[in-house]
């Protein structure tokens, strides 16, 4: 049993108490702020002349009145009711919950990175531009692409930006291509991004091996195909062995290939999307490059493209001038435009660059090797207890099915909830959609064999519990600050804020 | 590269694990990757550095940038140099927050879920709107998503956006609109605020929404209520972009007729970071609740009747609806939303009023001092909050002036002629509570001497 986060330990008992909303702590007259005295001369007449009364706020915002200690205790209390990678194993498939190195956090807080403004003269931000330029070059090398934009704020944002470039490319050639093909194992963001870019989505089922069905692909492509979006290795953790043929089929039909880089942690230095035939790729720096997920964000989703798409890149790109200094390149007249304010999530780029420099290219290759070995080891040890629909070798993640437990009245959800009692964050569940009662496990390279063994033993124990005492699973978890929550009522009668005033 | 501090795999582990898998070598695990797409050799990337060497390297890079600890900044234009209470960094450095994923497992994510619920509550309170989401990438993409929502909700394909909206926001809106097949029309300004006469003539029965920003890019306060009347007369929606800090002083957009209020929470305790990550916010009227993009947290109860929080209304989202989702957004800016929440907790009811008062007074003092310089005047006479456009003598090269100011330890204002060449030599000056009278007086002196 993993004891790294034993929620029953007496020190954490208070985490089980209801935690008041910050608004409920308010006491009139209490303050937590420190502001300077006003040191500029003003008269009351002057002040009242500056803004017409109808522009002024009629009722003060009902913000809480608390002390600094209240604030710290409140948020510390909340943090103790939350589980992160630093608390324990977090094998959430397709999310790459690897360790978030502390040096990344330290350097991103340097004033020279954290306290600079995007509109300062370029002469005063040469270090920032140098970092971005180097990162562009490094990511292009890693993915086998010709150019990289650091603008997109997240993976889905990168997908949409990439698809917009594909759209502009086809339009510039006078072609009207309206369809984007995705396999049924794709991330939900793929079809959603296609819609926002003005495309229709065509979903093709995977074959029995979990791979793209080439016959179905051939039947699906045509003169209206704008692109195929593919995650490789797929969300099933499988490498598309026929990727070269897939690329040929799509390219012959005049379409382009989009690489969803969510699963890049499997292939660094081993194979590159550019060499497989992809034309566009996004990377999730918050997955592959160890930047923290932040409880939902911020992330960063840089996009790499082959030379045919360079004219369509969103502005701006950083360039190195002949004199060795750095500047923003003028936008191409064919650019899709701007996708985000300023220059992307720079603070995340600093962390990703720092991470790359702790490893170098040989180290990144070792990252992928270990991530893949860890996943294969877990799959090998668990395959006798849970159904593994696709034989290995897997890449950085694999899927199992909890359908074998249904005969005991137990579902994958119950296994996940029971895992919480042992101090583990559960794997991704019910995704991908083409595997029944799916359990998707991604250990990452930063977990030790002992951690993996502890988790595996727990999964085996839970499978036995399902057989012997299914009620135990159905009512889990027992050790968390709250038990299972009423999600139906939450959606039916939404309470979405505290309606303070 | 066999050993690294982030990789616990020992040689013995590797042997044991390969044996368990039934593989001879790690290479066996990659047999499924065709030989002709394998990468041979070492990638041409930046090399590895040891910890001390890496810290030196990063210190050197950071040292080449002029930061606002060392320079007094009068630069705003959508990103402001406010005091960030030190408490915020301590809270967001709690790794239970920053190393967590999106709260998919609510039983072990109550801290994050409650923090988001409180953020939503804060945004509703400030904006006067009924529903807010968990946050968006930034203010610019939030406004683009607002255009998308408005078009979907009204089934109309045209939006009118004020040219006083941040230029980069307008560009982002155009990019999204192109993808969605929405026509974008811009309306000009008069005396630094949206020209209401022109606006009225551009709104018709096909107008999904009018998008304005207040305070606008010039710092001027728009007549939101009047704009609301114009767009609602044609049954279109009003989208207001608002600096959330300014709402300690200015009327809540929800009370002025906004159907959607968006903006960037950067002024609420988020450091500039060269423009990102910041935190977009997104708030709507109750009628639009089920069309809002992104994550939303709702309050509910557990099996024992205890209060708890969950992600809710997920039927709108991409992981459920795929190509029919209201947006493709998956992540949000949770950690920055937390920063904004901690900021508002620290400031509280009185602090937000006081900080707005300081911004207002210092900005107006600066406007008075700077416009007193020979040949210099305010570009507009419209009311403003903490930022204003300063017209410099014709032909003043603002880029040269900015370099001169840097030499004197100041980061000067934004060169408005970049995006609005018709205005001539105009500098956009932001003055926050961090600027002292001494900073302002010295800045005025240097400016005068440089013209």
| Shortest CA gap B306–chain A (Å) | 7
- What DSSP string describes A180-201? EEEETTS-THHHHHHHHTT-EE
In-domain check, residue A387: no
Task: State whether A297 and B334 contact (CB < 8 Å).
Answer: yes
Mean pLDDT of B265-281: 98
| Cross-chain residue pair B108–A431, CB shorter than 8 Å | no
A200-209, A303-312, B13-22: range with lowest mean pLDDT:
A200-209
pLDDT for A16 beyond 70: no
DSSP 8-state symbol, A387? B
Q: In this predicted structure, what is the pLDDT of residue A6?
A: 47
* Contact state of B34 with A111 under an 8 Å Cβ cutoff: no
* B positions 285-314 inside 8 Å of A (CB): 289, 295-304, 306-310, 312-314
- Are residues A199 and A341 located together in one domain of the fold? yes
Using the 3D structure, point to which of A335, A358, A381 is the last residue of a domain: A358
| Å between B314 CA and nearest CA of chain A | 8
The predicted pLDDT at position A384 comes to 96
What is the predicted pLDDT for the residue at B214? 98
Asked if the C-beta of B391 comes within 8 angstroms of chain A's C-beta atoms, the answer is no
pLDDT at A11 over 90: no
Q: Closest partner residue to A347 among B273, B289, B301, by Cβ?
A: B273
A229 & A301 share domain: yes
Task: Give the class (CATH, top level) of B72-83+349-450.
Answer: alpha beta
Nearest-angstrom CA–CA distance, B98 and A114: 17
Specify if A230 maps to a domain.
Answer: yes
How close is the nearest chain B Cα to the Cα of A463, in Å? 20
Question: Of A324, A340, A358, which residue is a domain's last?
Answer: A358
Question: 91-120 in B: which are within 8 Å (CB) of A?
Answer: 91, 93-112, 114-118, 120
Q: What is the DSSP letter of B239?
A: E
Q: Which of A17-31, A120-134, A405-419, B360-374 has the lowest mean pLDDT?
A: A17-31
Residue written as token pair 């939902």: A296
**A297 → closest Cβ in B117, B333, B361:** B333
- DSSP classification of residue B65: B
Answer yes or no: do A344 and B94 touch at CB < 8 A: no
From chain A, the residues in CB contact with B414 under 8 A are 119
Phi, psi for residue A257 in degrees, rounded to 5: -110, 125
Interface touch B122/A63, C-beta < 8 Å:
yes
Nearest CA in chain A to B171: A338
Whether A11 maps to a domain, the answer reads no
Statement: B86-342 belongs to CATH 3.40.50.300: no
For residues A70 and A110, state if they share a domain.
Answer: no
Q: Measure CB to CB from residue B361 to each of A40, A365, A489 and give the nearest one.
A: A40
Alpha helices in B164-288 (DSSP H): 167-180, 196-202, 224-233
> Is the model's pLDDT at A5 over the cut of 80?
no
With CB atoms and an 8 Å threshold, state whether A65 touches B255: no
Say whether B235 sits in a helix, a strand or coil. Answer: coil
List, for residues A256-284, the tens digit of each pLDDT value.
999 999 999 999 999 999 999 999 999 99
Q: A-chain residues within 8 Å CB-CB of B332?
A: 296-297
B114 closest CB neighbour out of A19, A428, A483: A19
pLDDT, mean over chain A: 95
Query: Is A45 inside any structural domain?
Result: yes
Report the percentage of chain B scoring pLDDT > 70: 100
Residue A97: inside a domain, yes or no? no
**Does one domain contain both A24 and A153?**
no
| Chain B interface disruption, residue of A28, A379, A497, A500, most B CBs within 10 A | A497
Tell me, yes or no, if B121 comes closer than 8 A to chain A by beta carbon. Answer: yes
The residues with which B209 forms a beta bridge, in sequence order, are: B159, B237
The pLDDT value recorded for residue B205 is 97
CB A244 to CB B34 under 8 A? yes
Same domain, A212 and A340: yes
Round the CA-based radius of gyration of chain A to a whole number and report it.
26
Range B200-210 burial, b when 16+ CB lie within 10 A, else e: bebbeeebbbb
> What ipTM was assigned to the predicted interfaces of this complex?
0.98
pLDDT in tens, B291-304: 999 999 999 999 99
Residues from chain B contacting residue A35 (CB–CB below 8 Å): 83, 351, 354-355, 358, 433
Residues A37 and A129 in one domain: no
Residue A27 has pLDDT above 60, yes or no: yes
B185 lies within 8 A of chain A by CB: no
Pick the residue of A295, A371, A391, A426 with the most B CBs within 10 A to test the interface with B by mutation.
Answer: A295
A309 and A225 in a common domain: yes
Q: What's the pTM value of the predicted model, to 2 decimals? A: 0.97
Q: Say whether both A172 and A37 belong to one domain.
A: no
> In the listed set A358, A391, A421, which residue is the last one of a domain according to the structure?
A358
Residues A139 and A63 both lie in one domain: no
Average pLDDT for residues B245-262, to the nearest whole number?
98
Print the domain residue range for A66: 20-79
Q: What DSSP designation does B36 have?
A: G
**Closest to B300 in 3D by CA, of A476, A80, A474, A491:** A491
DSSP for A275-341?
Answer: HHT-SEEEE-TTTTT----TTT------EEE-GGGGGGPPSP-EEE-TTS-EEEPPPPTT----SSS
Comparing CB atoms, the residue among A116, A238, A269 nearest residue B272 is A116
What pLDDT, on the 0 to 100 scale, is given for residue A12?
Answer: 42
CA B45, B50, B51, B57 torsion: positive or negative?
Answer: negative
Domain ranges of chain B: 72-83+349-450, 86-342
* A460: Cα separation from own chain's centroid: 29
Q: Which residue has the tokens 């309606």?
A: A499
B167-208: per-residue pLDDT in tens? Answer: 999 999 999 999 999 999 999 999 999 999 999 999 999 999
- Contact assignment for A370 to B29 by CB distance below 8 Å: no
Report residue B326's pLDDT band, with 50, 70 and 90 as the boundaries.
confident
CB interface of B with A, residues 393-432, below 8 Å: 399, 402-403, 406, 411, 414
CATH number at residue A155: 3.40.640.10
Establish if A445 belongs to a structural domain.
Answer: no
User: How close B234 comes to chain A (CA, Å)?
Assistant: 24
Does A125 lie in the same domain as A73?
no
Report the alpha-carbon distance of residue B134 to residue B91 in Å, rounded: 18
Task: State whether residue B241 sits within 8 Å of chain A by CB.
Answer: no
Overall average pLDDT of the A218-237 stretch: 96
**In which element (H, E) is residue A238 found?**
none
Subunit contact A446:B8, Cβ cutoff 8 A: yes
Question: Whole-angstrom Cα distance, residue A382 to residue A374?
Answer: 12
**Domain total of chain A:** 2
The answer as to whether A380 is a domain residue is no
Q: How far apart are CA B298 and CA B312, in angstroms?
A: 6
The stretch B432-436 carries a mean pLDDT of: 98
The H or E element spanning position A2 is none
- The alpha-carbon gap from A115 to the nearest alpha carbon of chain B, in Å, equals 5
Query: Under DSSP, is residue B115 helix (H, G, I), strand (E, B) or coil?
Result: helix
Q: How far is B204 from chain A (nearest CA, A)?
A: 25
In this predicted structure, what is the pLDDT of residue A17?
Answer: 67
| Burial category of A125 from C-beta neighbours within 10 Å (exposed 0-12, middle 13-18, buried 19 and up) | buried
**Chain A within 8 Å of B381 (Cβ-Cβ)?**
no
Q: Best residue in B14, B60, B100 to probe A by mutation, most A CBs within 10 Å? A: B100
DSSP H helical ranges for B194-238: 196-202, 224-233
Q: Does the residue A397 lie in any domain?
A: no
Q: What is the pLDDT of residue A15?
A: 52
Nearest CA in chain B to A166: B179
**Do A112 and A58 fall within a single domain?**
no
Same domain, residue pair A71 and A167: no
Residues of chain B with Cβ-Cβ distance to A74 below 8 Å are: 345
Output b/e per residue, B289-298; b: 16+ Cβ within 10 A. bebbbbbbbb
């Amino acid at each position: 049993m993993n004891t790294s986060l034993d929620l029953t330990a007496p020190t954490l008992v208070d985490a089980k108490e209801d935690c008041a909303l910050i608004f409920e702590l308010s006491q009139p007259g209490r303050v937590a702020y420190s502001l300077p005295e006003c040191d500029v001369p003003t008269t009351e007449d002057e002040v009242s002349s500056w803004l017409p009364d109808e522009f002024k706020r009629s009722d003060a915002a009902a913000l809480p009145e608390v002390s600094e200690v209240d604030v710290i205790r409140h948020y510390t209390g909340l943090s103790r009711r939350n589980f992160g990678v630093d608390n324990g194993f977090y094998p959430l498939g397709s999310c790459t919950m690897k360790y978030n190195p502390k040096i990344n956090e330290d350097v991103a807080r340097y004033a020279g990175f954290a306290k600079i403004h995007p509109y300062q003269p370029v002469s005063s931000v040469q270090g920032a531009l140098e970092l971005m330029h180097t990162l562009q070059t490094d990511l292009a090398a890693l993915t086998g692409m010709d150019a990289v934009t650091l603008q997109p704020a997240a993976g889905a944002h990168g997908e949409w930006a990439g698809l917009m470039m594909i759209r502009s490319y086809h339009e510039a050639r006078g072609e009207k291509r309206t369809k984007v093909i995705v396999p049924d194992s794709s991330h939900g963001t793929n079809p959603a991004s296609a819609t926002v870019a003005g495309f229709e989505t065509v979903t093709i089922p995977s074959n029995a091996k979990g791979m793209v069905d080439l016959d179905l692909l051939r039947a699906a492509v045509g003169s209206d195909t704008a692109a195929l979006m593919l995650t490789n290795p797929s969300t099933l953790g499988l490498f598309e062995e026929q990727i070269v043929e897939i690329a040929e089929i799509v390219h012959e039909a005049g379409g382009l290939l989009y690489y969803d880089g969510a699963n890049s942690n499997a292939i660094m230095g081993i194979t590159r999307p550019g060499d497989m035939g992809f034309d566009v790729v996004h990377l999730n720096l918050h997955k592959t490059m160890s930047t923290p997920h932040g409880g939902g964000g911020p992330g960063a989703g840089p996009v790499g493209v082959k030379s045919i798409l360079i004219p369509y890149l969103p502005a701006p790109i950083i360039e190195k001038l002949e004199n060795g200094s750095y500047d923003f390149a003028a936008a191409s007249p064919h650019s899709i435009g701007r996708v985000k304010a300023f220059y992307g999530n720079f603070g995340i780029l600093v962390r990703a660059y720092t991470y790359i420099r702790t490893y170098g290219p040989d180290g990144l290759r070792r990252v992928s090797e270990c991530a893949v070995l860890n996943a294969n080891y877990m799959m090998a040890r668990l395959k006798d207890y849970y159904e593994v629909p696709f034989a290995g070798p897997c890449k950085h993640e694999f899927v199992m099915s909890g359908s074998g437990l249904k005969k005991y009245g137990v579902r994958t959800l119950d296994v996940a909830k029971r895992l919480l009692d042992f101090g583990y964050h559960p794997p991704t569940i019910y995704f991908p959609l083409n595997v029944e009662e799916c359990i998707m496990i991604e250990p990452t390279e930063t977990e030790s064999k002992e951690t993996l063994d502890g988790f595996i033993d727990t999964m085996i124990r839970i499978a036995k519990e399902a057989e012997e005492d299914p009620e135990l699973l159905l009512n889990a978890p027992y050790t968390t600050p709250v038990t299972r929550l009423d999600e139906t009522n939450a959606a039916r009668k939404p309470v979405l804020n505290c309606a303070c005033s | 590269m066999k050993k690294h501090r982030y990789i616990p795999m020992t040689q013995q582990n590797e042997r044991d694990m390969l044996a368990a898998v039934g593989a001879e070598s790690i290479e066996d695990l990659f047999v499924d990757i065709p030989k002709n797409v394998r990468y041979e050799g070492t990638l041409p990337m930046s090399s590895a550095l040891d910890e001390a060497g890496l810290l030196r390297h990063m210190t050197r890079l950071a040292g080449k940038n002029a930061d606002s600890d060392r320079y007094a900044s009068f630069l705003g234009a959508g990103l402001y140099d406010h005091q960030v209470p030190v408490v915020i960094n301590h809270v967001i450095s709690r790794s239970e927050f920053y190393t967590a994923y999106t709260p998919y497992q609510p039983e072990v994510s109550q801290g994050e879920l409650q923090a988001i619920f409180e953020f939503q509550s804060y945004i509703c309170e400030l904006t006067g709107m009924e529903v807010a989401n968990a946050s968006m990438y930034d203010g610019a993409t939030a406004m683009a998503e607002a255009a998308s929502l408005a078009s979907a909700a009204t089934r109309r394909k045209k939006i009118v956006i004020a040219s006083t909206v941040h230029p980069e926001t307008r560009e982002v809106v155009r990019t999204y609109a192109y993808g969605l097949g929405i026509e974008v029309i811009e309306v000009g300004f008069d005396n630094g605020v949206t020209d209401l006469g022109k606006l009225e003539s551009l709104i018709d029965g096909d107008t999904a929404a009018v998008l304005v920003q207040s305070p606008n890019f010039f710092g001027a306060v728009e007549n939101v209520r009047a704009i609301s009347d114009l767009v609602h007369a044609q049954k279109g929606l009003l989208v207001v972009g608002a600096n959330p800090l300014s709402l300690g002083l200015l009327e809540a957009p929800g009370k002025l007729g906004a159907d959607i209020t968006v903006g960037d929470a950067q002024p609420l305790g988020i450091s500039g970071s060269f423009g990102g990550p910041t935190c977009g916010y997104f708030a709507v009227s109750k009628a639009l609740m089920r069309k809002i993009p992104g994550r939303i947290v709702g309050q509910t109860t557990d099996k024992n009747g205890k209060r708890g929080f969950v992600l809710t209304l997920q039927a709108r989202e991409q992981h459920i609806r795929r190509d029919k989702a209201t947006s493709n957004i998956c992540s949000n800016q949770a950690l920055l939303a937390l920063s904004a929440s901690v900021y508002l907790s620290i400031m509280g009811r009185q602090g937000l009023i006081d900080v707005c008062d300081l911004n207002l007074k210092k900005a107006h003092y600066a406007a008075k001092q700077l416009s007193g310089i020979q040949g210099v005047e305010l570009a507009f006479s419209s009311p403003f909050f903490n930022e204003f456009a300063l017209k410099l003598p014709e032909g003043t090269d603002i880029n040269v002036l900015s370099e001169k100011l840097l030499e004197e330890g100041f980061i000067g204002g934004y060169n408005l002629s970049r995006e609005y060449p018709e205005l001539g030599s105009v500098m956009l000056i932001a003055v926050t509570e961090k600027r002292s009278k001494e900073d302002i007086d010295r800045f005025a002196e240097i400016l005068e001497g440089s013209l």
